Amino acid sequence: MTDWTQQTDTARNWFENLRDRICAEFEAIEREAGSEANFRYDSWSREEEGNSDPGGGTRGLMKGKVFEKVGVNVSTVRGNFAPEFAGTINGASAENPGFTATGISLVAHMANPHVPAVHMNTRFLTTGKAWFGGGADLNPPIPYEEDTEQFHARFRAACSAHNPTYYERFRKWADDYFYIPHRGVHRGVGGIFYDHLECEDEAAFERNLAYTKDVGEAFLDVFPSLVRRRMETEFTPEDKQTQLEWRGRYAEFNLVYDRGTLFGLKTGGNIDAILMSLPPEAVWS
């Protein structure tokens, strides 16, 4: 396996920088709403038998007036996949199970049902290959067409700056991925999802890192504006019930189909960090 240590550090530094700016912006929104809520940060260390440097991460969690529950995780882990899992990962195998992974993962569940929930993550992995992946998708219990259009337009612009095919390809990938087969519905109104943007050399790494950075910047630009637009909207008990039922669908997807959840569990990640994506309250009618 090629030594991508320097590139992993570069990506990790970017993810941590993005985390800090996102959390500061979310705390600023809480201040605007008259709340003193702040992120609480808990560090964790991964354990793997025979591995003296398995890595770990930091989970940031805030529960406030606007953000009922928002988690922002950054982790950098390294080690070996279990043989039966290695074959499912790009570039890994039972004979070559080594990996490193660094990334940021965010999920926000909102107090007001008119404010969309959201998911965003970007990551850099190395096995026998090295690649970037990630994306963001909007999950409104009560959809607004202008919010959906603004969200997609911002990511369309980020994609188009790098490759004219990216947006349509990655939008469709998100539509196909964030789908709940047993319900016959999508998890939300989509976004973008990409994986296996491979880095054959340093030039490819820099190119794919630049795109991944723009995905993060697009999220930081568009989502806070949607929150501010809707966070003071009055809502009814029926609106809240709609939100709670929708959260049940969200939980079903993450527990049954989400690859990130499975990856975290299979690589010995922090359980609380992995499951921070689950909503604080949900119902099944």
Residues catalogued as catalytic: 119
Helix 145-160 × helix 202-230 angle, to 10°: 160
Residue found under tokens 């999508």:
186
Helix 5-32 × helix 202-230 angle, to 10°: 10
Instruction: Report which residue type is found at 190.
Output: G
Query: Is 262 in a helix, a strand, or coil?
Result: helix
Residue found under tokens 């499951």:
275
| Closest listed residue to residue 59, CA positions, set 118, 19, 12, 30 | 19
Please tell me the distance from the alpha carbon of residue 30 to that of residue 38, in angstroms, as a whole number.
Answer: 8
Cβ burial of 49 (10 Å; 0-12, 13-18, 19+) is: exposed
Q: Are 273 and 73 spatial neighbours (Cβ–Cβ below 8 Å)?
A: yes
